[in-house]
Amino acid sequence: MHLLSKRRSAVAAVLAVITAAVVAGALTVQAGASSAKPAAKGNLLWVQPLRDHPVHRLMQTGFLQECKKLGYSCDIVGNPSATSLDVPATVGLANAALSRKKYVGVGVYAFAPEMYPLVKSLHGKGYPTVSWHILIKRGTVPLNAITGTDPAAYARAAAKAIGGKIGGTGTVAITEGSFNTIENLVAKTFTATMKKSYPNVKVLAPQVEGFEPAAAAAKAGSIIQANPDLKAAFSTTGGGPATWATAQRQTKHKLVVIGMDYVRQNLDLVKSGEVYAIVAQPLFEEGAKTADLLAALAQKKKAPYYNYLPAPIVTKPKLAPYYAILKKAKQ
């Protein structure tokens, strides 16, 4: 037993030497990788449900490109879908990311009250937080800053554009991606502006088109069938141009359509004449501005709460600058 113990001790000693050598080698490799690539100024996190929606991806591209320009390392988390909105899954992914890595600022797409608990949690833990696209009133939830366009302004502009194009008569439909704070405000403002500027136009009550293309087109088609005097449609969501273009093809009922966002599919629909115009929400620009604000806050600099960006109505002759933005975003 004594001899066996000595042999075990000798083996253990050899293993200890080998283990120490392996660990030392691993540490040398890690140190070499770290020194070869300078550390970023810090990590920024972007949290967005419906992560793979083309509109959301354009926002994310602006964020990532600006992050790189500013010298930060940035991550995107959100439920991986272009059609299914899943807030609980997104919050879970955000919390998992926060547990794995140290972040100096977090961007949260606080599009609805369901996202507010996450913002409050981040605030309580001391993270600088910024939201975009939805201009949440100061004090509603503890955000440091927000950026985006004034939805009431583009809703008024869309109403006047449609009203003028249809000659101030007929029926107009409104569809939303979902009933939420921003889209409800846009629909309400559009309706009020149309009533004031074109009192002979009948505006239908808003309906949800959703985010699944076939179901959305079917909903738009049913609206057309139920309203033979329908002359125009306004969609408050990025999938709206495709929704109404498809419904027009299926029903052979031509409309004046304005929808949201300058993703390539929507620009192509305006170019082809199937859609009259799009509201050029500053999607890429919102992402970049979010990165700017988070970087400033991470450096303990002051940032204004409201950070407005323009959103013009873009018809066929005005498309070129937006195709250029998509090229820049590699989309």
Identify which of 123, 118, 122, 143 has the alpha carbon closest to the alpha carbon of residue 133.
143
pLDDT at 151 over 70: yes
pLDDT tens figures, 202-235: 999 999 999 999 999 999 999 999 999 999 999 9
pLDDT at 12 over 90: no
Q: How far apart are the C-alpha atoms of 90 and 97, rounded to whole Å? A: 11
Contact yes or no for 290/46 (Cβ under 8 A): yes
Query: Going from the N-terminus, what domains does the chain have, and what CATH number goes with each?
Result: 43-149+283-309 (3.40.50.2300), 151-279 (3.40.50.2300)
pLDDT for position 320:
97
pLDDT tens figures, 168-198: 999 999 999 999 888 999 999 999 999 999 9
pTM score, two decimals?
0.71
pLDDT at 20 over 50: no
pLDDT tens figures, 85-144: 999 999 999 999 999 999 999 999 999 899 999 999 999 999 999 999 988 999 999 999
Is residue 264 very low, low, confident or very high in pLDDT (cuts 50, 70, 90)? very high
pLDDT for position 5:
35
pLDDT tens figures, 157-170: 999 999 999 999 99
Q: How far apart are the C-alpha atoms of 139 and 40, rounded to whole Å? A: 32
CA torsion, ordered 300, 303, 305, 306, to nearest 10 deg? -160
Contact yes or no for 256/278 (Cβ under 8 A): no
pLDDT at 2 over 50: no
pLDDT at 13 over 90: no
More confident: 1 or 267 = 267
Is residue 16 very low, low, confident or very high in pLDDT (cuts 50, 70, 90)? very low
pLDDT for position 54:
85
Mean of per-residue pLDDT scores for the chain? 88
Contact yes or no for 257/275 (Cβ under 8 A): yes
More confident: 331 or 6 = 331
pLDDT tens figures, 26-49: 222 222 222 224 447 999 999 999
Alpha helices in 37-53 (DSSP H): none
Residue type, 160: K
Q: How far apart are the C-alpha atoms of 235 and 187, rounded to whole Å? A: 9
